[in-house]
A and B are shown apart, each in its own frame.
Chain A
Amino acid sequence: MESSRRRFLTIAGLAALGIGAKPVIDALAAGTGGEIANLIELKKGDHALTAKQWAMVIDTRKIAKASDIEPMIEACHRIHNVPQLDNKRHEIKWIWDEEYHNAFPTETNKFLSEHAEHIPFPVLCNHCENPPCVRACPTKATFKREIDGIVMMDFHRCIGCRFCMAACPYGARSFNFRDPRPFIKETNKEFPTRMRGVVEKCNFCAERIAIGKIPACVEASNGILTFGDLYDPQSNVRELLKSNFTIRRKQSLGTDPSVYYIV
Chain B
Amino acid sequence: MNDKKYIIAGLAVFVAMFTFPFWYNIGKASPGPEIKLTDKAKAAKECVMPTEYMRAEHMQLLDVWRHSVVRRADRTFVNPGGKEFTMSLSNTCLDCHSNKSEFCDRCHDYASVRPYCFDCHIDNPKEKK
Report whether B75 and A45 are in contact in the complex, using a CB–CB cutoff of 8 Å: yes
Pick the contact of A44: B73, B80, B119 (CB < 8 A): B73
**For the complex, is B78 an interface residue (Cβ under 8 Å from A)?**
yes
Interface residues of A in 132-159 (CB under 8 A from B): 143, 145, 147-148, 152, 154-156
Interface residues of B in 76-92 (CB under 8 A from A): 76-80, 86-87, 90-91
Q: How many residues of B contact A (CB 8 A)?
A: 30
**For the complex, is A253 an interface residue (Cβ under 8 Å from B)?**
no
**For the complex, is B120 an interface residue (Cβ under 8 Å from A)?**
yes
**For the complex, is B116 an interface residue (Cβ under 8 Å from A)?**
yes
Contact with B along A9-48 (1 / 0, CB 8 A): 0000000000000000000000001001001111111101
Residues of A within 8 A of B70 (CB): 152, 154, 156
Report whether B120 and A44 are in contact in the complex, using a CB–CB cutoff of 8 Å: no
Residues of B within 8 A of A194 (CB): 120
Residues of B within 8 A of A155 (CB): 120
Docked CA distance A195–B116 (Å): 9
**For the complex, is B129 an interface residue (Cβ under 8 Å from A)?**
yes
**For the complex, is B11 an interface residue (Cβ under 8 Å from A)?**
no
**For the complex, is A191 an interface residue (Cβ under 8 Å from B)?**
yes
**For the complex, is B5 an interface residue (Cβ under 8 Å from A)?**
no
Report whether A189 and B71 are in contact in the complex, using a CB–CB cutoff of 8 Å: no
**For the complex, is A247 an interface residue (Cβ under 8 Å from B)?**
no
Q: For this complex, into which size category does the number of interface residues on chain A fall?
A: 20 to 34
Residues of A within 8 A of B19 (CB): none
A interface, by DSSP: helix, strand, loop or mixed?
A: loop
Expressed in whole angstroms, the minimum distance between the Cβ of B87 and any Cβ of chain A is 7
Report whether A41 and B90 are in contact in the complex, using a CB–CB cutoff of 8 Å: no
The residue in chain A whose Cβ has the minimal distance to the Cβ of B70 is A154
Report whether B76 and A43 are in contact in the complex, using a CB–CB cutoff of 8 Å: yes
Report whether B90 and A189 are in contact in the complex, using a CB–CB cutoff of 8 Å: yes
Contact with A along B22-58 (1 / 0, CB 8 A): 0000000000000000000000000001000000010
Which of B57, B76, B128, B129: most chain A Cβ within 10 A? B76
**For the complex, is B108 an interface residue (Cβ under 8 Å from A)?**
no
Interface residues of A in 207-235 (CB under 8 A from B): 209-210
Pick the contact of A189: B57, B61, B116, B122 (CB < 8 A): B122
The residue in chain A whose Cβ has the minimal distance to the Cβ of B89 is A192
Report whether A41 and B73 are in contact in the complex, using a CB–CB cutoff of 8 Å: no
Report whether B74 and A33 are in contact in the complex, using a CB–CB cutoff of 8 Å: no
Residues of A within 8 A of B90 (CB): 189-192
Report whether A190 and B73 are in contact in the complex, using a CB–CB cutoff of 8 Å: no
Pick the contact of A43: B49, B74, B80 (CB < 8 A): B74
Docked CA distance A43–B49 (Å): 17
User: Known contacts A44-B76, A143-B71; is A193 also within 8 Å of B125 by CB?
Assistant: no
The residue in chain B whose Cβ has the minimal distance to the Cβ of A154 is B70
Contact with B along A181-205 (1 / 0, CB 8 A): 0000001011111110000000000
Docked CA distance A213–B43 (Å): 31
**For the complex, is B12 an interface residue (Cβ under 8 Å from A)?**
no
User: Known contacts A154-B70, A210-B75; is A45 also within 8 Å of B122 by CB?
Assistant: no
- In the A-B complex, the 3 residue pairs with the closest CB atoms: A41-B78, A189-B125, A195-B119
5 sample A-B contacts, Cβ–Cβ < 8 Å, listed by A number = A36-B60, A36-B61, A147-B72, A152-B71, A156-B66
